[in-house]
Amino acid sequence: MQYKRRFGYDRAMDTQRRLQGAVALVAGATRGAGRGIAVELGAAGATVYVTGRTTRARRSSMGRAETIEDTADLVTEAGGIGIAVAVDHTVPGEVAALAERIRTEQAGRLDVLVNDIWGGDPLTAWGTPFWAHSLDDGLEMQRLAVWTHLITSRYAAPLLVERGRGLIVEMTDGVDDRYRGNLYYDLAKASVIRLAVGQAAELRDRGVAAVALTPGFLRSEAVLDHFGVTEATWGDAVARDPHFAASETPRYVGRAVAALAADPDVLRRTGQALTSWDLAREYGFDDVDGRRPDWGAHFREHVLRETG
């Protein structure tokens, strides 16, 4: 692998604390990819600020049971330091206060920002043409999934710039221009990739990298609930959806982020749209179940063949 040749990386490093002393902010870490990323950053030794709107005292409009405190506990159990902060990332003042808290508590240090705020699932009417889709829901999706990323980078990026190093990861769905099946959903996810491109252009000379990153078919808590399975029994759902056989846990893309954050030459990737499966192949990591799913290959070989 290219990285192994250049930097002596091997899979044994997965168990070492490559990010010991590093500070990360995972915005939107309540569940799904955000939680998986936060836990893997913690497993690598980082202090991780995990933010979201669902706390043990108050649920968000998503109505899910997962909380930011749960995520912070998982980060700490993995070997890092998890810090839960309730933040509504649509409110600039709350995000500014979060950045100032990190500055104060960590002596100005922030190494990694992950923008994973979403909240668009209940707003997406699949199979409905854009002219019949709720305009209010479509616009709200942009506010929740695009504006929040821009607001968060606006206040967190100065911490990275001041240190002259660091990484911003914009979480998205897909890396090419293939239409994602719903105009408002597609616009949100494509916009996030452009956020990475634009931030990369303005941050490159400051030593800060910005990338977009997509997981494959993600076995999030909500997806497992949808199929009526648990992580231990997820294989039972393959009978209902054969494509589920190529799915991955949220920790898989989490390991991708941890590998990027530990890469001393990550700036070479700035502005790129990356995937969990390609990074697994390059950095040599597996999912937590020992598999190495490749959603890209599966999509090309099976999904595109079925849809033409």
Query: Per-residue pLDDT for 242 more than 70?
Result: yes
Query: Per-residue pLDDT for 231 more than 90?
Result: yes
For the stretch 287-305, pLDDT in tens is 999 999 999 999 989 887 6
Query: Per-residue pLDDT for 5 more than 80?
Result: no
Query: Per-residue pLDDT for 195 more than 90?
Result: yes
User: How much is the pLDDT for 172?
Assistant: 97
307: pLDDT confidence band, cut at 50, 70 and 90? low
* Domains of the chain from N-terminus onward: 10-307 (3.40.50.720)
Q: DSSP letter at 218? A: B
Active-site residue, 155 included: no
Spatial neighbors of 105 by CB under 8 A, at least 6 apart, are none
Four-CA torsion 45, 47, 52, 54, nearest 10 degrees? 80
Rounded Cα distance between 69 and 48, Å, is 12
Question: Which candidate in 155, 184, 185, 252 is catalytic?
Answer: 185
Query: Per-residue pLDDT for 164 more than 90?
Result: yes
Q: Which residue in this structure is represented by tokens 């490159």?
A: 204
For the stretch 56-66, pLDDT in tens is 888 777 778 88
Rounded Cα distance between 256 and 280, Å, is 7
- What percent of the chain stands above pLDDT 70? 94
For the stretch 84-126, pLDDT in tens is 999 999 999 999 999 999 999 999 999 999 999 999 999 999 9
Give me the mean pLDDT over the 40-56 stretch: 96
User: How much is the pLDDT for 218?
Assistant: 97
Rounded Cα distance between 185 and 177, Å, is 13
Q: 68 near 25, Cβ under 8 Å? A: no
Its pTM surpasses 0.85: yes
Q: How many CB atoms lie within 10 A of CB 134?
A: 13
User: How much is the pLDDT for 306?
Assistant: 67
Spatial neighbors of 97 by CB under 8 A, at least 6 apart, are none
User: How much is the pLDDT for 308?
Assistant: 55
Q: Which string of b and e fits 160-187 if b means at least 16 CB within 10 Å?
A: bbeeeebbbbbbbbbbeeeebebebbbb
In terms of Cα–Cα distance, which of 20, 32, 124, 134 is closest to 80? 20
